Homo-oligomer: A and B are copies of this chain.
Amino acid sequence: MSHFELHPDRFFDSDSLIRGYAREIFSSVKSLPIISPHGHVDPKIFVDNKPFENPTQLFITPDHYLFRMLYSQGISMEALGIPSVNGTEVEKDPRKIWKLFAENYFLFQGTPSGIWLDHEFSIIFGIREKLNGSNADKIYDELNEKLISPEFLPRRLFEKFDIEVLSTTDGSTDSLEYHKSINESGWSGRVIPCFRPDAVTDLSNPNWKSNVELLGKVCGYEISSFQIFIQSLEERRSFFKTIGCTSTDHGVFSPFTHELSASEAEKIFQRGLKGKSTLEDENLFTAHMLMEMARMSIEDGLVMQIHPGSYRNHNPVIFANYGADKGADIPMHEEFTFNLKELLNKYGNNPKLTVIVFTLDESTYSRELAPLSGHYPSMKLGPAWWFHDSIEGMTRYRQMVTETAGFYNTVGFNDDTRAFVSIPARHDLARRIDSNFLAGLVARHIISLDEAFSVAKDLTYNLVKKTYKL
């Protein structure tokens, strides 16, 4: 049983000059409120405000980062209690799952998941030992006890985390009832939706037609033409705005953008309704919808986000048995210079548009994304995303982006998490890495310490607030 206290200088370079500056810079930003402009927390937890069920349900079951790694080492999804689609029996005992997780906790050494969990256990829950097979039961009990105390209810944690605003991610047909409830509850927490219409803009989705029908139902009319489809999306964006929404999000396979004529769009839309889409239709439809979304953003002011390049559900065995978001999404090589050209050429010089672009292909940082966002006024570069939201990943991001795009064409941090209690851990890590990066610039006399303080505050707080209009 090893003693377990997070070091105050953790993740800073060990060079004493850099470490000293990093400490100072981090001190100046560590207590700023958290702005979380993009993520996947379920808003219902703040409506119910009930205790989290148990440590396994809280930490493991919703976190595909964790069972992805465990699965890669030969541990079955059944043994981890991941609910099966077809009703196959899976492990039901949360304590047994916890034990299995604890025994394999060493797999997360050197990974961001390990870092976030250590932070959550130690700082949020006050656990004083590093989790392992021997102390698994004891820590399970400690966590369980805390979870039922009022201090660990969702709203209380939201306040303790000092979250100024939290954005969820919501389908175009979502009623936003939980957001409304929160708004009307009198509770001061600001939880806002983000408009993500992928289910109806992705023609390759096998449920596309029924998704469009549902959209029609929500709007109160039949969506029989592309024109009506566009109208329905404009209405839904408008509705989202009334609930506090300031942004949209587009999780596309490719960032290809291309404008169709009205009649081409209509033809493709009609083929889609008849279930006769071709692969080309699918590509063109998404490409055109990105153009439409940019146009709408200019009109209604919603900030547009593009998250491309993940091959979702790469493993059909896992998808068939456990569904989506189970750790089997794999990045692909990506291209932006050609793909974004049409969108940027038509809308990228318009000061009314903000389009934030993300990537999973780090080779595009210095080659395409920094040059593009360092030229087009509408384009900003989103932070290191998903697999790259890590010490080395965020460091590479700053190293490959800053010299071409500067700091001010980036937009601060996104935690992008499904795991609510990981939010402070993720922001702590991001603030430390940015502080350490700035410290390295100060130590090498590239910027002054005063400049570093100012940039650090912008990266932590001002840029995200301004860019996302929060």
Contact = CB atoms under 8 A, between A and B. Distances in A.
B15 A330 contact: no
Tell me the number of copies of this protein.
Answer: 3
A311 interface: yes
Interface in A164-190: none
B377 A403 contact: no
A332 B391 contact: no
B110 A403 contact: yes
A448 interface: yes
Interface stretch (A3-11, A235-243, A285-293): A3-11
Contact of A403 (B18, B328, B392): B392
A387 B371 contact: yes
Interface residues of A, number: 93
Contacts of A6: 445
Interface of A: 2, 6-7, 9-15, 17-18, 68-69, 71-74, 106-112, 115, 311, 314-318, 327-333, 335, 337-338, 341, 344-345, 348-349, 351, 360-363, 366-368, 370-377, 379, 387-388, 390-393, 396, 399-400, 402-409, 440-441, 443-448, 450-451, 454-455
Contacts of A110: 402-403, 406-407, 441, 446-447, 455
Contacts of A329: 371
A109 B362 contact: no
A455 B337 contact: no
A69 B331 contact: no
A301 B258 CA distance: 47
Given A330-B372, A368-B330, A18 B14 contact: yes
Given A330-B375, A372-B330, A109 B451 contact: yes
Contact of A366 (B109, B393, B404): B393
Contact of A409 (B72, B332, B351, B367): B72
A391 B403 contact: yes
A351 B74 contact: yes
Nearest to A13: B444
Contacts of A71: 375, 377
B392 A400 contact: yes
A409 to B, nearest CB: 6
Contacts of A330: 337, 368, 371-372, 375
Nearest to A328: B375
Contacts of A448: 2
B17 A315 contact: no
Contacts of A363: 333, 361-363, 367
B455 A403 contact: no
